[in-house]
A and B are shown apart, each in its own frame.
Chain A
Amino acid sequence: MRTKLQTTAKLALAILVAVSWISTANVQAQLGAPQAAVNSKALAERLGPDDGYAVTINFSGDTHGSLETCG
């Protein structure tokens, strides 16, 4: 029973390592040169189109003393 448990644990560990390698490899493949273009596109989406507006009023609330990012 003890051996089987250890074997199962080793197998689970091996699967975990493999999955994390595949995940990391996937992330690595996504990074690199095209990332700048992706970021630039995402920022453009945040900014929205410049369609001739004359004034922007932006407002915050409930920051409760925090200058940090959250979540």
Chain B
Amino acid sequence: MGGLARRVSYVNELANQSGHSVAVLQLDAGNFLSDDLTLPAAAAQTRVKNERMLKSLEQFKFGAANVSNRDLPYLAELMKKSAHSQSAKDFPFLDRLVSANVVPATPDVVGFKPYLVEELKSQRLGAKPLKVAIVGVADPAGPAGTVHSGYKFLDPVESINKLLPDLRKKVDLIVVLAYLDRPSAKNIGAQTIGIDLILAAHQLPLINGVDEAGDAVVGYVANQTKWLAEFRLYRAAEAKSAGISSYIFRTVPLDRSVPDDPVALKFVEETRVAYTKLGAAGAAGAAGGHSH
């Protein structure tokens, strides 16, 4: 279940089905990188996985990804002030990471954007693009003010509420990526005004429905994305409006029914080769260490 090759294939099939007349926005709600960096042998492999993950998000045109505490140990290495200039060249997707409540706790690291604005265009949207704000928030995994890997976690609700008055004037749709458990994700909707969609992850079981909280609709993605979570949005009937009038929420099992995209599959296989090679080198190194 799951995996990049099936996800890319699913998105391509959707585009084909609609004759390329719908806009597609691919997002990640957080915990997309591994934090297994403590043991040197495992850390080398983890860095390869994470580098490839960041490259894949760029290559397969993801709109944004949300920063969680699990992503920070690796990201903090790339976001160090001394390394950031080179990191930004190596991984352009760093510019598409969002968080409104994860901020630098020291001057040695560069901050993330609190939100991005994407302009979606499609034949079915008509002449006027749909402006979508994508905001990120994450579980502090402790009280507000908790510091992880050089970043301080502020209160998610307060952080979003500071942005909303301005954002509502700028965009047609406000989407929040939330690495939060179900009650906390609902609380974001209940304690704010003007959020349209909250897309939440937090190692959750499969949840086939949505929650309505305040103005917002909250959808959840299951742990490891074995089922892809999807909102389909329908345009208001009034021709002059670019607004969205209704939605449906779906969870799509990424099983064998969804074929592998050949380009993405090659990317995954190359990642596996690089990862395995490092593992073998690590094992050989460990064996050598024992013999001395």
Chain A residues with a Cβ under 8 A of chain B: 39, 42-43, 45-48, 50, 52-71
Q: Do A55 and B122 have beta carbons less than 8 Å apart? A: yes
Known: A47-B13, A48-B250. A61 touches B232 (CB 8 A): no
Number of A-B contacts (CB under 8 A): 179
Q: Do B258 and A54 have beta carbons less than 8 Å apart? A: no
Q: Tell me which residues across on chain A come within 8 A of B52, comparing CB atoms.
A: 67
User: What bracket does the count of chain B residues touching chain A fall in?
Assistant: 35 or more
Q: A60-B201, A61-B225, A71-B1 are known; give 4 further A-B pairs, CB within 8 A.
A: A57-B233, A59-B230, A61-B221, A67-B268
Q: Is B244 on the interface with A (CB-CB < 8 A)?
A: yes
Main secondary structure on chain B at its contact with chain A? mixed
List the 10 shortest-distance A-B pairs measured between CB atoms, nearest first: A61-B201, A65-B34, A42-B257, A69-B3, A54-B124, A61-B29, A60-B225, A53-B232, A65-B49, A55-B233
Known: A46-B10, A52-B124. A60 touches B32 (CB 8 A): yes
Known: A46-B258, A62-B203, A63-B225. A54 touches B70 (CB 8 A): no
Q: List 17 A-B contacts (CB under 8 A).
A: A43-B259, A54-B234, A55-B122, A58-B230, A59-B28, A60-B27, A61-B28, A61-B30, A61-B204, A62-B223, A63-B224, A65-B32, A65-B34, A65-B53, A67-B4, A67-B268, A69-B6
Binds A, one of B16-24, B83-91, B97-105, B109-117: B16-24
Q: Is B216 on the interface with A (CB-CB < 8 A)?
A: no
